[in-house]
């Protein structure tokens, strides 16, 4: 696993494949790209929304939280 950070971005790679990229757009907004299928979790985003298992979140926003989705 490789983690690359800058002042406004954190990216996590697994075998040179991007798993997660979070970019701070402003003090209240983070742009997230995620695809965890490579490590066995059916969580990814595409043009339709955020896919978590068989569910798709689209047009959602999370505010004032530290955890948006938890896996048990």
Angle CA(44)–CA(41)–CA(71) in degrees, nearest 5?
100
Q: Where are the domains of the chain?
A: 2-57
pLDDT at 68: 78
Q: pTM, whole model, 2 decimals?
A: 0.80
pLDDT at 18: 96
Q: Are 33 and 18 in contact (CB under 8 A)?
A: yes
> 7 CB contacts (<8 Å, ≥6 apart)?
none
pLDDT at 14: 95
Q: How many Cα atoms within 13 Å fall on the side-chain side of residue 23?
A: 5
| Mean pLDDT within 43-58 | 93
Mind listing the pLDDT tens digit for each residue in 3-49? 999 999 999 999 999 999 999 999 988 899 999 999 999 999 999 99
């Amino acid at each position: 696993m490789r983690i690359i950070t800058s002042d406004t971005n954190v990216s996590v790679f697994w075998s040179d494949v991007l798993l997660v990229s979070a970019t701070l757009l402003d003090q209240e907004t983070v742009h997230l790209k995620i695809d965890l299928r490579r490590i066995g979790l059916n969580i990814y985003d595409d043009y339709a929304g955020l896919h978590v298992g068989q569910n798709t979140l689209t047009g959602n926003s999370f505010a004032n939280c530290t955890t948006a989705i938890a896996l048990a």
